[in-house]
Amino acid sequence: MLKLADLRLLLIAVTLFGGAWPVTKAALADASPLWFAVSRTLLGALVSGLGLAMMRQLSLPSRQDWPAVLGVGLLQLGLFFALTHLAVALVPAGRTAVLANVTIYWLVPMSVLLMGETVSPRRWAAAGLGLAGVAALSGPWAVDWRDPDILLGHAMLVLAALLWSCAIIVTRRFPPRTTMLANLPWCFLLGGLILVPMAIVMEPTGGIGPASYWHAALIGCIVAPVGTWAVIEAGRRLPGAVSSVGFLLAPAIGVIVSTLWLGEPVGWDVIIGGALIGASVVVATRG
């Protein structure tokens, strides 16, 4: 039985993460991708750490917590952020929001094979509807696949979704003793340990300019700590079929925001894709 509190976490996660990609795309006008990702992880560590310290709940992870902390910190925050922030410089923000959140490619079969989870026929149907919506939103027929940058960007996003799915499986297979909220600062710091060396090597002259300060503050201080906590808990608590389908709401939100704010084109593909994803979420939660 699905709990309303878990579905609320899912809604918080997809709203924040869906709107984050257009903001990130806009920030790259005066910021380099990896340094922006660094700001996201380090500000997330600072804000979540200060919040826990004020509540007198800041402490080192226990031995039982470390598998989940390592999975989230290295896979979901470090490598996922690296791949997606590099890809958003090559791929439109709406398309990035779509493909980066398609854990359904990986999470449903991984939940069945690795977790022994049973997926009902209705939820398999929901997954099919969700994938059809993703296909419509991403519009592969409108992409110049001869462009090596386009190919690279899409490959990075598909790999990023796999890494996120692996992080979800780790947190479910090895549940932490304390809450993931209490472990969040250490997850962000681990992500920063991957991103900072990458940024130094790959973007030695990069950084974040004044025009992107507010973007970095919004993403690092609100989306990173609150959205990451919500997405970790939703992925850990909900069945794989439900969470992976639910995460597809994030790309729908990202496409809408990209259209309204960045002026990215909207057509029947967006309308049909959004409708299919919405229907898939309804079917999954009732399955």
| pLDDT tens per residue, range 126-136 | 778 877 877 77
Region for 263 from its dihedrals, namely left if φ exceeds 0, alpha if ψ lies in -120 to 50, beta otherwise: left
Task: Spell out a b/e string for 48-79, using b for 16 or more CB atoms within 10 Å of the CB, else e.
Answer: bbebbeeeeeeeebeeebbbbbbbbbbbbbbb
- Max Cα–Cα distance, the chain, nearest Å: 55
Per-residue pLDDT at 262? 63
Helix axes 180-202, 228-237, angle to 10 degrees: 120
Which residue has tokens 């470390």? 66
- Range 54-58 average pLDDT: 91
- Report the half-sphere exposure of 286 (CA within 13 A, side-chain side): 9
- C-alpha 90/C-alpha 148 separation (Å) is 10
Phi, psi of 174 (to 5 degrees): -125, 70
Per-residue pLDDT at 184? 94
Per-residue pLDDT at 52? 94
- Read off the pTM: 0.81
Show the tokens assigned to 178: 């304390």
- Range 281-285 average pLDDT: 72
- C-alpha 177/C-alpha 174 separation (Å) is 9
